[in-house]
């Protein structure tokens, strides 16, 4: 049986859902993370709207977690080397169904006071604390699995660069066990590693100052057989000079055999963002694919909604929910039933809003009358819009307040009232994020907005369940394209809550014209201000002209047929596709299994890898000698639609085997402004070989579906059965005209 290792970091909720679905599907996966004793912080919002952070130790006795024991029955402790000392780690275990999650804990007596805090808090310390945490996760994590638990994972899946030091640990072990060079060990490590990037901003990747990396790794790089310079370059773009920092994302990208972003759009953004890691390859062809995030559906469904699905979908629908067919039966749910359950969820949410708001304001010194003036206005019949997520500035929580006059009109229409509910934490060091919270608080206290805008404190999973099933509309307006995927909208849609969102992250592919609404366009703007203005205008207009009229288009029984149709479409179109069940199937088929097969077929045998490594070296050396020439000249051709053309080229390969290249034709339509549109790349066939002169002829047929002016060119890419992604080698040869 194969084992997959999953190293998790702060993307806690997604990771938890990943593990649950792996368990459901029986995928043999083991996970490693850090035991943050303080958890994330508790948030309080005071009478001024300031966020206050409160750290409490989580109570381990309240959690389904227990210490792992060694052979002698003692708590298992492992260690990792720090400068002039060892850091000891106690190992805990949580069973996530059939999947085991191990958590490392530095808070034990064997460590000095400072080291005990290494796993105290997520994002709690400075950069040195951060590098220590990442050494624990990456290096101690691998050590635990291999040497203590005696698991031998076939594939290691790194989520975000935080776990990327695991590459170094794997390579070090391979060098020692198999007595091979760094280069060969690195190839083996590549065949075992998957890297998922979760953020579209460069700052989302940890970049450590060189001095810190030196401090923690100067005794380590000799064990890899590397010089200081060679080691440091592993965390840098491949330019000549040493950079100022060691980038964990780049380390992961350089080694992982398979790499992905977390939505279709984010895949494209990541290819551009990290394009410089493969300088010879055009950025849009960087070897980064995508697997769109999802949610563990059953964990996020309100119980009564789940009962409806149990009744109206096929029996055991949960077992095949990644199949879209399963969801078609949502049509059969009677409108009144769906609406009744939704109204029930809404009432439960409004009760939570009332309690949360009352508590918060009471603590800030508001008296009974002024609190009652606010919470008594909560209206179960009003169109209710929810916005809940981290208060990071790119999510633009206050966009809906861009024009206060206009939003006043919208919220205060006595016939068609609208209420807004906000919740979310800002990073404790993010002052701008905290300013957003304060601003929302202040707006909610303006006379015209009292009892119309609610700001909840301490957003967490429990509250999230109420929000994503109890509001009518889920609002999401990030600054495109900064939202890598987003998952809370997926939680909402499967509960019949309608998404109203910027076409970013998952919604850019999830939106189908009839399952919700969009905000803004796909344009790029010259300034943030221009983007905010355009997007807020679009937001208001769609609210006024579409969302509100559809909601209030109710019959005598208070049902809006159109609205319920949207709810059903929303469930049917997203229930399967945006589940972690589908996500795990994709990861397994497209990333884990190709690596497993490659390992089984080739990489378990060191001789294969050594031969492959020599082939690579020779290919790098001889690549420049490849010559491509065009055979039939069709320059500046204008073709009628429906016509086929045949193109041919001649390739000279002085020192490279013709079996080890792919020749491709690259073509597209040239518009009047010179832009090339609808680029296609198709492989060419070998038609003629002359082994003496090492000259080979290739041809391809191009089918053109539309007429116009076309351009084309030829190129050569390396090919080898042990090479998963041709672009990984950063080799490409274009025709030289």
Binding residues (CB under 6 A) for ligand PLP: these are: 13, 389, 459-461, 464, 486-488, 491
For the bound state, the minimum distance from the C-beta of residue 496 to ligand PLP, rounded and expressed in Å, comes to: 17
Q: Whose Cβ is closer to ligand PLP: residue 322's or residue 466's? A: 466
For the bound state, the minimum distance from the C-beta of residue 578 to ligand PLP, rounded and expressed in Å, comes to: 11
Q: Whose Cβ is closer to ligand PLP: residue 19's or residue 91's? A: 19
Q: Whose Cβ is closer to ligand PLP: residue 461's or residue 685's? A: 461
For the bound state, the minimum distance from the C-beta of residue 11 to ligand PLP, rounded and expressed in Å, comes to: 9
Q: How many CA atoms lie within 13 A of 175 on its CB side?
A: 17
Backbone angles phi, psi at 273, to 5 degrees: -60, -40
User: For residues 103 and 34, what is the distance between their CA atoms, to the nearest angstrom?
Assistant: 5
- Locate 587 and state its tokens: 């990861």
Q: Whose Cβ is closer to ligand PLP: residue 10's or residue 125's? A: 10
Q: Whose Cβ is closer to ligand PLP: residue 4's or residue 459's? A: 459
User: For residues 286 and 111, what is the distance between their CA atoms, to the nearest angstrom?
Assistant: 44
For the bound state, the minimum distance from the C-beta of residue 461 to ligand PLP, rounded and expressed in Å, comes to: 5
User: For residues 438 and 566, what is the distance between their CA atoms, to the nearest angstrom?
Assistant: 34
Residue that is written with structure tokens 């378990």 in the block: 604
Question: What is the DSSP track for 544-594?
Answer: IIIIHHHHT---TTS--HHHHHHHHHHHHHHTTTTBHHHHHHHIIIIIIHH
Q: Whose Cβ is closer to ligand PLP: residue 486's or residue 726's? A: 486
User: For residues 491 and 486, what is the distance between their CA atoms, to the nearest angstrom?
Assistant: 10
For the bound state, the minimum distance from the C-beta of residue 488 to ligand PLP, rounded and expressed in Å, comes to: 3
User: For residues 318 and 262, what is the distance between their CA atoms, to the nearest angstrom?
Assistant: 23
Q: How many CA atoms lie within 13 A of 161 on its CB side?
A: 25
Q: Whose Cβ is closer to ligand PLP: residue 13's or residue 581's? A: 13
8 Å CB contact between 247 and 236: yes
Q: Whose Cβ is closer to ligand PLP: residue 397's or residue 411's? A: 397
- Locate 230 and state its tokens: 């060679």
Q: Whose Cβ is closer to ligand PLP: residue 374's or residue 475's? A: 475
For the bound state, the minimum distance from the C-beta of residue 293 to ligand PLP, rounded and expressed in Å, comes to: 8
Q: Among 308, 345, 303, which Cα is nearest to 327's?
A: 308
Q: Whose Cβ is closer to ligand PLP: residue 295's or residue 727's? A: 295
Q: Alpha helices of 51-202 — where are they, by DSSP H?
A: 113-116, 127-135, 141-143, 166-178, 182-190
User: For residues 540 and 544, what is the distance between their CA atoms, to the nearest angstrom?
Assistant: 6
Helix (H, G, I), strand (E, B) or coil at 416: coil
Q: Whose Cβ is closer to ligand PLP: residue 132's or residue 389's? A: 389
Q: What single DSSP character describes residue 140?
A: I
For the bound state, the minimum distance from the C-beta of residue 465 to ligand PLP, rounded and expressed in Å, comes to: 8
Tell me whether strands 516-519 and 207-209 are parallel, antiparallel or unpaired. unpaired
Strand runs labelled E in 99-159: 99-105, 155-159
For the bound state, the minimum distance from the C-beta of residue 388 to ligand PLP, rounded and expressed in Å, comes to: 7
For the bound state, the minimum distance from the C-beta of residue 4 to ligand PLP, rounded and expressed in Å, comes to: 23
Q: Whose Cβ is closer to ligand PLP: residue 6's or residue 459's? A: 459
For the bound state, the minimum distance from the C-beta of residue 464 to ligand PLP, rounded and expressed in Å, comes to: 3
8 Å CB contact between 476 and 500: yes
For the bound state, the minimum distance from the C-beta of residue 389 to ligand PLP, rounded and expressed in Å, comes to: 4
**What is the enclosing helix (H) or strand (E) of 411?**
helix 404-411
For the bound state, the minimum distance from the C-beta of residue 437 to ligand PLP, rounded and expressed in Å, comes to: 15
For the bound state, the minimum distance from the C-beta of residue 466 to ligand PLP, rounded and expressed in Å, comes to: 11
8 Å CB contact between 185 and 175: yes
For the bound state, the minimum distance from the C-beta of residue 13 to ligand PLP, rounded and expressed in Å, comes to: 5
Question: 104 - beta bridge partners?
Answer: 34, 91
Q: Whose Cβ is closer to ligand PLP: residue 49's or residue 486's? A: 486
Helix (H, G, I), strand (E, B) or coil at 423: strand
Q: Whose Cβ is closer to ligand PLP: residue 16's or residue 124's? A: 16
Strand runs labelled E in 410-525: 418-423, 453-456, 473-476, 498-502, 516-519
Per-residue b/e over 299-324, b at no fewer than 16 CB within 10 Å?
A: ebbbeebbebbeebbeeebbeebbbe
Q: Among 542, 489, 497, 498, which Cα is nearest to 516's?
A: 498
């Amino acid at each position: 049986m194969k084992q997959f290792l999953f190293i998790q970091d702060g993307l806690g909720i997604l990771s938890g859902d990943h593990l649950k679905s792996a368990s459901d599907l029986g995928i043999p996966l083991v996970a490693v993370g850090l035991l943050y004793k303080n958890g994330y912080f508790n948030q309080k919002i005071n009478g001024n709207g300031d966020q206050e952070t409160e750290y409490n130790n989580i109570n381990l006795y309240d959690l389904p977690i227990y210490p792992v024991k060694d052979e002698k029955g003692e708590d298992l402790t492992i260690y990792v080397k720090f400068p002039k000392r060892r850091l000891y780690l106690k190992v805990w275990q949580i069973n996530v169904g059939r999947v085991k999650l191990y958590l490392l804990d530095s808070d034990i007596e064997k460590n000095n006071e400072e080291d005990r805090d290494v796993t105290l808090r997520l994002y709690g310390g400075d950069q040195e604390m951060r590098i220590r945490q990442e050494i624990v996760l990456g290096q101690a994590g691998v050590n635990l699995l291999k040497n203590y638990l005696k698991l031998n994972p076939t594939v290691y899946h790194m989520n975000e660069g935080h776990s990327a030091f695991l590459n170094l640990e794997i390579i070090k072990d391979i060098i020692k066990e198999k007595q091979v060079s760094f280069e060969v060990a690195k190839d083996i490590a590549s065949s075992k590693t998957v890297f998922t990037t979760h953020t579209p901003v460069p700052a989302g990747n940890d970049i450590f100052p060189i001095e810190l990396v030196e401090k923690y790794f100067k005794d380590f790089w000799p064990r890899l057989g590397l010089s200081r310079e060679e080691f440091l370059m592993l965390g840098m773009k491949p330019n000549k000079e040493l950079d100022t920092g060691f980038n964990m994302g780049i380390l992961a990208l350089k080694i992982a055999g398979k790499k992905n972003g977390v939505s279709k759009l984010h895949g494209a953004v990541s290819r551009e963002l990290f394009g410089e890691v493969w300088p010879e390859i055009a950025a849009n062809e960087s070897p980064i694919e995508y697997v769109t995030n999802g949610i563990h559906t059953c964990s996020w469904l309100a119980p009564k909604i789940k009962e409806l699905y149990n009744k109206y979908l096929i029996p055991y629908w949960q077992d095949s929910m990644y199949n879209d067919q399963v969801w078609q039966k949502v049509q059969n749910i009677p409108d009144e039933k769906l609406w009744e359950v939704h109204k029930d969820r809404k009432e439960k949410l409004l009760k939570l809003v009332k309690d949360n708001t009352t508590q918060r304001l009471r603590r800030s010194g508001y008296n009974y009358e002024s609190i009652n003036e606010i919470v008594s206005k909560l209206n179960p019949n009003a169109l209710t819009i929810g916005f809940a997520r981290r208060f990071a500035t790119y999510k633009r929580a206050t966009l809906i307040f861009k024009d206060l006059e206009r939003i006043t009109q919208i919220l205060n229409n006595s016939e068609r009232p609208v209420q807004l509910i906000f919740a979310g934490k800002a990073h404790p060091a993010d002052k701008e994020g905290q300013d957003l919270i304060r601003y929302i608080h202040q707006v909610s206290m303006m006379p015209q907005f009292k009892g119309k805008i609610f700001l909840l404190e301490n957003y967490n999973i429990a509250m999230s369940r109420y929000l994503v099933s109890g509001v009518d509309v889920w609002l999401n307006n990030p600054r495109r394209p900064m939202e890598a995927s987003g998952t809370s909208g997926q939680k909402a849609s499967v509960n019949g809550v309608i998404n109203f969102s910027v076409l970013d992250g998952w919604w850019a592919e999830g939106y189908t014209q009839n399952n919700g609404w969009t905000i803004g366009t796909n344009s790029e703007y010259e300034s943030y201000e221009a983007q905010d203005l355009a997007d807020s205008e679009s937001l208001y207009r769609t609210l006024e002209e579409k969302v509100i009229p559809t909601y209030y288009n109710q019959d005598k029984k208070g049902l809006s047929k159109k609205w319920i149709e949207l709810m059903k479409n929303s469930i049917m179109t997203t229930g399967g596709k945006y589940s972690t069940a589908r996500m795990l199937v994709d990861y397994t088929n497209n990333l884990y299994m190709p690596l497993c097969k490659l390992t089984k077929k080739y990489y378990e045998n060191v001789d294969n890898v050594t031969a492959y490594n020599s082939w690579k070296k020779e290919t790098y050396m001889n690549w420049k000698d490849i010559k491509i020439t065009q055979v039939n000249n069709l320059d500046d051709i204008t073709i009628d639609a429906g016509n086929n053309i045949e193109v041919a080229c001649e390739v000279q390969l002085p020192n490279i085997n013709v079996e080890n290249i792919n020749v491709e034709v690259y073509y597209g339509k040239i518009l009047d402004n010179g832009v090339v549109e609808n680029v296609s790349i198709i492989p060419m066939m070998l038609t003629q070989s002359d082994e003496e002169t090492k000259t080979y002829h290739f041809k391809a047929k191009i089918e053109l579906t539309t007429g116009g002016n076309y351009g084309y060119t030829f190129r050569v890419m390396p090919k080898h059965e042990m090479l998963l992604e041709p672009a990984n080698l950063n080799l490409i040869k274009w025709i030289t005209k």
